A and B are shown apart, each in its own frame.
Chain A
């Protein structure tokens, strides 16, 4: 017992502690409901969509990121009769979840939802379509004609589909291709690989003959989408509403992990991320090849790495020799949502349709349009820039149809899990193959915490 503490204080402490203990006991006894949010919360499959009372001609609020705002302004200029309020926000880029945060709050407040929202996070399709009253309105139930929906690239709307209903429109695709520096490749006398086995062999040669040059990176947040998705690794395959299969010990996962481990050990695959200041400063000019999304062309090689015109080219996605077909993963691709709470669904749907399908906007957009006709116009524009060493159109169009359908959009981000689980392990010297167990546990735990049943 501490004699410095006054007796009255000790009595007070005992009294307070006793009262708290009593209150806790009473509360435990008084419980009359379940604390399990799955039991108390919303069902996984939403109720039939019932629009709120429509007000023709009413103002619509549009949330978009800075890159998409000029497009919305162009729509506003072309449609002066439509009243639009534009709100610029993060667009959920780089792992932000501003839209979900705000929608959760609007759901509690019962008002405030935007009529239209853009998200750069392809996983946002999962949560917007779920809950008691999903934020996203089903667009294939009369809002947008089937003829428009069928104009999107094969599988482009998959991240928008839940229980057979389409809840959003895809803005752009992020299909992977094999980027390479044609000038360097020609100089070194190498030919472009067509299989992962040839890629590995070339990586080994590069490490030996031109140390310091790179054929890939494994420290990017989207490495799972680039390598493991292309390898058809079942890291995240949804089998039903809130049901997912996670099996990173599958041979299609381990083959890619072993391939990357071998090249990381030799030094021709970097453990860094292509957007780190160190990589840009020291390694950007030494990138010989880089499997990655279509947006790498202008965003990474041109704007960030400042690789001069006429050097960079794209080749078809790679395949394993034993596979019948080559597949690619998907690194992003924005989504446009029409809010189920909108009082002007017609105006909101028109805007979303225009943003995703019109050549007037999509042909000049920064990334590959998901709408096939707009993609043709966009590719013509890319050719006109003269940046690439060869026309990327055939490769981009081919890759757009090769996205492996086994990997689905989920409420959790594969990118975030890979970054926080695998990247630190790689940087501490652990081989990728040894991290598969930890990675699997991390995906499983995260999925379960969000109400998924994991097989």
Chain B
């Protein structure tokens, strides 16, 4: 009987795609995206991989560009900076976004619409504009929160931008500009949990904390994993923040603070596009490895069994 039903369903699905135009419409809908993905995603990536494996005379050099850039005196510090930033940024993003979403979804439902809008608002600004806003906020002489900065003992922009402060400063900027959007997504994910389950848990005597830890967070794990993958990828690509803060502080931040900046220096100061591509491919591999790890650990792409 089961076999019969399955065969029938499969036949119906196959029949729909062959005869029904609704099936073909799907391909039409995705075709535009696929074309742009090929033109601006896949082909440039392939070109970058080729550049990373060759030299300026188009000769194959194997992993030569990778070993060369790996031994560059700026490679270690750049990846260390970004590593430190990622640890702080991802930890604060995961904890605060989930916490704020749970609070909005639980105890603050009345005010949640207004608060979600307020949280989202900074993210609606263009990234560069948000960074520019922070350039003013971080200068004790011009900032409306200058008293707070001075409270930390920072009286000049140079003291605020001290090398040790940068990972935290960039985390604050990134959180301000990006976390609001994720709070909205997480709130939507929490909404997808059936009320009956939460109600049943409450009847069984579960506390708010127990409901959050044992029901809500496990049920939105895939969303959290999705956020982790995208935030990791975006974090490794850090470029605008150090570049603009460096300009505003008259060059106090090294021009190769992040790997992406180092790649830019390779390409546009040294004219070494092959080395720049190797660094970009390093970041691609890092991003893919993180994504693969998260996908396999969380079963992000597993289909729900029905």
Kindly provide the distance from the CB of A366 to the nearest chain B CB, expressed in whole angstroms.
Answer: 20
Distance in angstroms between the alpha carbons of A32 and B276 in the assembled complex: 20
CB distance B268 to A101 under 8 Å?
yes
Kindly provide the distance from the CB of B305 to the nearest chain A CB, expressed in whole angstroms.
Answer: 13
CB distance A34 to B64 under 8 Å?
yes
CB distance B60 to A415 under 8 Å?
no
Distance in angstroms between the alpha carbons of A396 and B273 in the assembled complex: 44
Over the window 210-253 of chain A, the binary record of Cβ atoms lying under 8 Å from chain B Cβ atoms (1 yes, 0 no) is 00000000011100000000000000000000000000000000
CB distance A100 to B275 under 8 Å?
no
Query: Which residues of A lie under 8 Å from residue B241 when comparing CB positions?
Result: none
Distance in angstroms between the alpha carbons of A61 and B210 in the assembled complex: 69
Query: Which residues of B lie under 8 Å from residue A221 when comparing CB positions?
Result: 250-251
Query: Which residues of A lie under 8 Å from residue B55 when comparing CB positions?
Result: 33-35, 37, 40
- Residue from A28, A282, A416, A449 within 8 A of B141 (CB atoms): A282
Which B residues between 105 and 148 are near A, CB-CB below 8 angstroms?
139-142
Distance in angstroms between the alpha carbons of A100 and B141 in the assembled complex: 34
Pair count A-B, CB < 8 A: 153
Kindly provide the distance from the CB of B180 to the nearest chain A CB, expressed in whole angstroms.
Answer: 28
CB distance B157 to A278 under 8 Å?
yes
Distance in angstroms between the alpha carbons of A419 and B163 in the assembled complex: 12
Which A residues between 416 and 442 are near B, CB-CB below 8 angstroms?
416, 419-420, 423-424, 427-428
What is the chain A residue whose CB lies nearest that of B292? Answer: A13
Distance in angstroms between the alpha carbons of A275 and B64 in the assembled complex: 44
Q: Cβ of B252 < 8 Å from any Cβ of A? A: yes
CB distance A104 to B297 under 8 Å?
no
- Residue from A30, A411, A427 within 8 A of B156 (CB atoms): A427
What is the chain B residue whose CB lies nearest that of A274? Answer: B250
- Residue from B60, B161, B268, B292 within 8 A of A30 (CB atoms): B60
- Residue from B73, B159, B268, B272 within 8 A of A37 (CB atoms): B272
Over the window 194-223 of chain A, the binary record of Cβ atoms lying under 8 Å from chain B Cβ atoms (1 yes, 0 no) is 000000000000000000000000011100
CB distance A33 to B57 under 8 Å?
yes
What is the chain A residue whose CB lies nearest that of B61? Answer: A35
Tally A residues with Cβ within 8 Å of B. Answer: 61
Distance in angstroms between the alpha carbons of A182 and B115 in the assembled complex: 58
Over the window 271-288 of chain A, the binary record of Cβ atoms lying under 8 Å from chain B Cβ atoms (1 yes, 0 no) is 111011111111000000
Q: Cβ of A29 < 8 Å from any Cβ of B? A: yes
Which A residues between 13 and 71 are near B, CB-CB below 8 angstroms?
13, 16, 24, 27-37, 40-41
What is the chain B residue whose CB lies nearest that of A28? Answer: B62
What is the chain A residue whose CB lies nearest that of B159? Answer: A427
- Residue from A29, A33, A220, A419 within 8 A of B54 (CB atoms): A33
What is the chain B residue whose CB lies nearest that of A105? Answer: B268
CB distance A424 to B163 under 8 Å?
yes
Please judge, given known A-B contacts A33-B57, A277-B157, A427-B156, whether A100 and B269 are in contact too, CB under 8 Å. yes
Query: Which residues of A lie under 8 Å from residue B158 when comparing CB positions?
Result: 219, 271-273, 276, 423-424, 427
What is the chain A residue whose CB lies nearest that of B155? Answer: A278
- Residue from B54, B61, B156 within 8 A of A276 (CB atoms): B156
Over the window 260-302 of chain B, the binary record of Cβ atoms lying under 8 Å from chain A Cβ atoms (1 yes, 0 no) is 0000000111111111000000000000000010001101000
Query: Which residues of B lie under 8 Å from residue A279 when comparing CB positions?
Result: 141
Kindly provide the distance from the CB of A278 to the nearest chain B CB, expressed in whole angstroms.
Answer: 3
Distance in angstroms between the alpha carbons of A96 and B64 in the assembled complex: 30
Q: Cβ of A310 < 8 Å from any Cβ of B? A: no
Query: Which residues of B lie under 8 Å from residue A272 when comparing CB positions?
Result: 156, 158
Residue of B56, B163, B246, B250 with highest tally of chain A CB at under 10 A: B250
Distance in angstroms between the alpha carbons of A278 and B296 in the assembled complex: 52
Q: Cβ of A390 < 8 Å from any Cβ of B? A: no
Kindly provide the distance from the CB of B169 to the nearest chain A CB, expressed in whole angstroms.
Answer: 13
Q: Cβ of A108 < 8 Å from any Cβ of B? A: yes
Distance in angstroms between the alpha carbons of A165 and B186 in the assembled complex: 64
Chain A contacts to B: CB under 8 angstroms:
2, 4-6, 9-10, 13, 16, 24, 27-37, 40-41, 94-97, 100-101, 104, 107-108, 131, 219-221, 271-273, 275-282, 411-413, 415-416, 419-420, 423-424, 427-428, 445, 449-451
The 3 closest A-B pairs by CB, nearest first: A33-B59, A35-B64, A31-B62
20 further contact pairs, Cβ within 8 A, besides A33-B59, A220-B250, A276-B157: A9-B296, A16-B292, A28-B63, A29-B62, A32-B60, A41-B56, A41-B272, A95-B246, A104-B273, A107-B271, A108-B273, A272-B158, A277-B139, A278-B156, A412-B269, A416-B255, A420-B253, A420-B254, A423-B158, A451-B270
21 A–B contacts, CB within 8 A, in A order: A5-B297, A13-B296, A27-B63, A30-B60, A33-B61, A34-B64, A35-B274, A95-B246, A97-B269, A100-B269, A276-B139, A282-B141, A411-B269, A415-B251, A419-B251, A420-B255, A423-B158, A423-B250, A427-B159, A449-B73, A450-B269
